[in-house]
Structures are given as structure tokens and as C-alpha cells.
Structure 1
């Protein structure tokens, strides 16, 4: 199979009339979601579990097996089987890379240099860390089943010189004023995957770019629109729709798939975010009334950020004096805000779970 030569952007032959029915709906749903986001007073707290869930789903598309519970248990200082730890680190790196992108974009635009920095973070000390992280590939690569060769590959990305030209064109297109930003996002994501500029991590990097591009275009006020849940659940359709571009040269099927993904996931994100906001206010009242503590909000924010945690974790990270933590945790269990997931014994700490939040995030 010969290396693919990507289309030059913008695409001149876009068949706009074939997905105009989905364009308006996708934009309305994104606008509704952003309106809800703007009502979130402390998104770093309330949306923390959704960020982790996004990282889990995106990493699963690439073959990791770590679940949301695995990651939360690990970060909440609960023992996790050694064989899961490499996958957990991949998930954590994904979340850190996304956060790094958001922070960098406070002062610099979305560029190839920023993408290289995020890729370096994404691949740090995990599977693929020997594949020149943070640098665009210098050799030919290909996509295929394990053991396949370039001759029987599923897809062969462009040669390095063509890749560099295509990346430059792609970067300019990100700053182009397209007729519709969501369609532009569909093209930006697909073209990145087609160019396949890194030796490893292209899929995860391409999905990180979805919320960052919407943020870059000022379509959402926080880069927290996560699509990997839908893409993981429709993995075969996702890959087939991308392959249809390179097989046929036609973008319509891919754009329709992507717009529909945006609509479905936006509705799900709206429902989850609204449920989390309501739960926060509900539990805030419960904790204040049951503890009568000046540390009530510290308690609340800690269990929203980390809904599975050890007593040791809570003492170290809640900002509450150690002399008060045991009493507060006992009250939260008694009032059924928390449940004991694993009772402590000897030097092993008690593990707590905030099941009402977990049920929303896992839904």
C-alpha cells in the first residue's frame, strides 16, 4: 500500500447540503451545553470526575483496561493491582495533557508547538514513551493488525515530507474561518488522524484536540466537551468512517457521523452536568446541616474531586485539621453521604466512596 496523500484544507468539495440537517442541531446542543457550563461556579471541582472519565474512555479506545474506579482508587491512595498501574498512568497522563493545553492556551494559541508539548506529557513514562514523545515522526509508519507489514497494512499515513506540509496546512486551517465550526472540528480531527504525525499516541492526541479546538474557537468557555464516551461505544463506526475518507476521498459520511456524535454526546453531557450541579447543592446542604462545621465546603469539594478515597488521603488533601477529619467522615457515613467501601484494619486505612456521584458519572 502506498502512503496516503491528504487533501489540502479547506476542502473545496464539501457537500454541505448532505448534512445541513445535523449542523443546526449540533450547534444548538453545543450552545445549550456551554450555557450550562457558564452556570458552574467551580468547574475544577464539579467537573473533575468527568475529566477522568473522558481520559478513561479515550485510553480504552487504544486498548487500555483501566476503569474509572481503578483510577479513582489509585489516586485516592487505595491499593491497586500492579498489572493495572501502567494503564492507570496512561489515563492520568491524558488528563494532565488536557489540563496543560488549557493552561497554555490562556497565553498562547493552539499551535503545532503546543500539540508537541502535550504529546510529550501524554507519553511520559508509559507505553510508547520510547517512540520519540513530543516530536513529529521522522520515519514512515503504518496502521495494521499485530504482525502485519506495510504491504498489508490497513492504512499507510503520508511520507515524512508530505506529512510536514500537511501539518503546516492543517495548523493554518485551525485558524481559518470555516462556514461552520463544528464541521471544521470534524475535518480538523479526521485530518490529524490521517496525517498521523506521531509514532504513537495519535488517537488520544486527536481526541484531546476536540475540546481544545472548541475552546480555541470560543464555542465553549471551558475545554470540557468530551466525546470519547460516544467514540468508544461506536469504535468500529468511528474507524470505518475515518477510513471511508481515505478510501473514497469523500468526507460526507465522516462529517455526518461526527455531527451525530456531537449531538448524542452533548445531550448526555448536559444531563450529567446538570445532575452533578444538582447533587452538589443537595449534598452541600446535607453536610452543612449535619456537621455544623466550618469545614463543610472543604469536605464537599474533596469528595467531588475524589469520590473514592482513603482516610489518609482525606486527611492530607482536604485542608481540614487531622483532629476533625475522623469526626466529619463518621458523620458523612452516618448521614449516608458516603459509604465505607473497605473497612480499615491495623495500619490499612478505611476506604470511602461517594456513590451518588459515581452513579451519575458512570451512567
Structure 2
């Protein structure tokens, strides 16, 4: 539906240039969204896919195990969209404090993303509402270290920013002036808390993401916080009991269309085209997460059966195998800490798992070696390669 521009422009000055800053109209859209016909079917398909994902999460023997690595995969993907070159293995090595050859600034950014997401989820589990205060807390965690640490972490911007172009005068888009950011975010918060507009949660998340990106309330980290916001909305609303739906890979794979549709919302009010794209992304992403979970369950089952065939060495090898399921990149010292087994016992078990082809050493070093559960990492790395 073509509604016309979904906001108004205000002349502002920044970096010595005059710009036309865009101030979005508060949500929800007027006239109301068309949620009939094929769009209703898309919504139903997306909800069904989320239900399947919730169901498979309930079947997992240890959902936290899957969540640990899936959250880190999302951190890698979301950060890659912003230009980092870290891989999932880089992040896991960094968390072991073993980072040979890892681009430190990049991996610190990814680690910050994990901390930001986990902080938001912990606050929501504790009953804290999804609010501007929580969004600022998440942003503070995101920019706590490394690049961006000097960009007012946890604070709405007090200066004009812009998107695209080499300077304000040739920018692709200029968000609201700094003096209006607080008011725009307050309106978004009202929308997030509304319970009388009849909008399904998936639709609310789709609208809120665009509005947040349009306001661009921070000096840095807006894209990552905007993607986090989707996960936090779905989790708070109990669409998913485990936070396992992340759209960063879908946005990464369809970057041009993503940005084109954001622009269409602003210039012509075509929320429906954006919503179709978003719902397709939810259905596809949830379906892929279910498939990934099934593949991992099958991998764990088959590999455990191979370990059990080791005879007398099986018991200790299974303990080490379980530790590597929980942390698919680990040093022998880390496994000793996690299992409580003696160092020589763990070393022999790791050697047995190497012989079976379940794990391999990843650093090429003779000391302080790190072992990876390679097939597990291969499945998680699909689509998560640096751009």
C-alpha cells in the first residue's frame, strides 16, 4: 500500500552542511496494515515455523547447549553485516583467551554482541520490561570495549548522524535531529507496550525494527541493536521460550533488498512489502534453525554411538565428548576443568576422539593446543563465513 512519506523532513545543519533530516510518524501505520489474503497466510506460516522451532527446542536434551553456540553464531553474523571479519571459531578461541592471528578489534566487537544479547535476555527473564532503558543498557554492553567505546555507549546521540555517502551533504538518509531522538524513542516505547491495537507480535517486531533503524538513536551500533530488538521482542512476548530466532543471516543474504524495502517504507509508506519480506525471513530462518537442530541431534547421536564402541576407553571419552558438545572449541585444560577428570585421562580421551575423526587440533601448535568438534562447527558455520 502506498501511503506516501511516513514522516516529515526538518532542515538541520551538521558538519557545516545543511541537510534534510527525516522524522518518522509514530507507529502504527495509518491507514492500518492490510493483513488479509496472502499476507495472512505468510503470517500463519511464520507463526507455524516459530512453533516448530519452539517444539524442537523443547526436545533438545540440553537447550542451553544449543543456545550457547547459536547465540554466538548470531553475534558473528550480525557483526559481519557491520564489516567485521571474525568467524565463529575466532570468537570461541577468543573466549578461551587463545587468539593466534585473530583480528582483535573485530572479535572484541563480536564478544560485546554476545554480552549485549545475554544482558537483554537476563533482564527480560527477571521481569524487566522491554523499554528504552533496557535498549540503552544493551547498547552500553555492545560498545563497552574496542571500536565504538568512545561513541557514547548507553546514551542516545547528542549530534546529527547520517547513513551512506561520504559526508552529510551526499548521505543516502539523514535520521532525526538529535533534539528529537528522545521524543521519537519515547513514541516507539509506547508502541512496544501497546496491547490494544490488535497487532500480532511478529508484525509488531517488523514495524519496530524499521522505526528503530529510521530513528538511528545512537552514534554507533544501531544496526546491531536493531537486530537485537527483534529477538528481544519475540522473547518477551513468548513467541519463543528459547531465544533461537535471529534474522541476521537472512538480512546478510538479502542486503540490497533489505535496504531497498526500508527506503520504500520511508518514501512511500509501503509497510506491506517490508512485512512480506520480514515474514518470509522469519519462516525461512525458523525452518533453517529446526533443520540445524535436527542435524545436530543426529550428529550427537551418531558420534556418541561411535564413542561407545571404544570399549574400556568409552566412559572417559564420553565425558570429554559431552564437554566438547557444550564447548566445541576447547583446550585440554578447559576440558579438565569442565569434567573434573585428570589431565592424562582427558588427553587420552581426546586422542581417541581424534582417531575417530570427531575432533581435530586447530592451532597447529605443539603446546597449548586447542581441539575442535569439527562437524559440529561445520554445521554452525554454514552461512557464517566472513563477507
Fold shared by both chains (TM-score > 0.5): yes
Equivalent in the alignment of 1:93: 112
SS for the counterpart of 2:21 is: coil
Equivalent in the alignment of 1:224: 244
**For the Cα contact (< 8 Å) 2:90–2:99, is it kept in 1?**
no
Correspondent of 2:40 among 20, 29, 37: 20
**For the Cα contact (< 8 Å) 1:73–1:79, is it kept in 2?**
yes
1:106-255 mapped onto 2 (5 Å cutoff): 106-107=125-126, 108-145=128-165, 147-149=166-168, 151-177=169-195, 178-255=198-275
1:250-291 deviations in Å (ceiling 9; x for gaps): 212211111111111111111011212232333344445533
SS for the counterpart of 1:4 is: strand
Quote the offset at 1:305 in angstroms.
3.2
| Greater shift in the superposed pair: 236-245 or 273-282 | 273-282
Equivalent in the alignment of 2:16: none
1:296-337 deviations in Å (ceiling 9; x for gaps): 34x234312332333343334444332421122112112222
Quote the offset at 1:52 in angstroms.
1.3
Structure 2: tracts of 5 or more residues without a match: 1-18, 383-387
**For the Cα contact (< 8 Å) 1:136–1:197, is it kept in 2?**
yes
SS for the counterpart of 1:309 is: strand
Query: How far apart in 2 are the matches of 1:148 and 1:66?
Result: 28
After superposition, the Cα gap between the structure-2 partners of 1:344 and 1:163, relative to the gap in structure 1 and judged at 3 Å, is closer
How many residues get paired?
Answer: 357
Q: Does 1:321 align with 2:342?
A: yes
SS for the counterpart of 2:76 is: helix
Query: How far apart in 2 are the matches of 1:214 and 1:167?
Result: 19
Equivalent in the alignment of 1:296: 318
**For the Cα contact (< 8 Å) 2:316–2:349, is it kept in 1?**
no
SS for the counterpart of 2:371 is: strand
Structure 1: tracts of 5 or more residues without a match: none
Query: How far apart in 1 are the matches of 2:352 and 2:60?
Result: 27
Query: How far apart in 2 are the matches of 1:210 and 1:338?
Result: 35
Query: How far apart in 1 are the matches of 2:132 and 2:161?
Result: 20
- CA RMSD between the two structures: 2.0
SS for the counterpart of 1:109 is: coil
**For the Cα contact (< 8 Å) 2:307–2:317, is it kept in 1?**
no
Quote the offset at 1:157 in angstroms.
0.8
Query: How far apart in 2 are the matches of 1:295 and 1:158?
Result: 58
Normalised to the residue count of structure 1, the TM-score between the two structures is 0.92
Q: Does 1:332 align with 2:353?
A: yes
Normalised to the residue count of structure 2, the TM-score between the two structures is 0.86
Q: Does 1:52 align with 2:89?
A: no
